[in-house]
Structure 1
Amino acid sequence: ASYDDDKNLGIAANVAYDIVPGLTITAEVDYLHAGKFDDADFSNWTNADKKNSVGGLLRFQRSF
């Protein structure tokens, strides 16, 4: 979790699960609240067009 003086809030949560020895699946969910989204000088590295954004990923990792 992160928060700053511009009222930006970021939260990430993930879970890793070993399906079998050597194969791990990780799921992650991310949330972003852009505090000063409506300001004229607002810069957003995510290129999101809304004040609140949700994203995620699914990772498959194989170890040999």
Structure 2
Amino acid sequence: ASYDDDKNLGIAANVAYDIVPGLTITAEVDYVNVGDSNWTNADDDDAIGGLLRFQRSF
């Protein structure tokens, strides 16, 4: 989580799960709320994003 003097808020959360030994899947969700300075150049003040990562170790 992050917050600054311009009232910008950012939150990220993730979960990693080992399917089998050597194979990990990680899911992440990100949220941002733009405060007084719109550094994202987006039309909306709120944004949400995410990712899904597959990692194989040999």
TM-score by length of 2: 0.91
Query: Would you say how many aligned residue pairs link Structure 1 and Structure 2?
Result: 58
Gaps of 5+ in 2: none
Structure number with higher strand proportion = 2
Please provide the CA RMSD for this pair: 1.2
Question: What residue is the counterpart of 2:20 in the other structure?
Answer: 20
Question: What residue is the counterpart of 1:43 in the other structure?
Answer: 39
Where does structure 1 differ by over 6 angstroms across 4 or more consecutive aligned residues? none
**Identical pairs, percent:** 78
What are the superposed Cα offsets for residues 7-51 of structure 1, whole Å, 9 maximum, x if unpaired?
0000000000000000000000000000025xxxx332xx43210
Question: What residue is the counterpart of 2:32 in the other structure?
Answer: 32
Structure 1 counterpart of 2:21, one-letter code:
P
| Counterpart-to-counterpart distance in 2, 1:14 and 1:4 | 22
TM-score by length of 1: 0.83
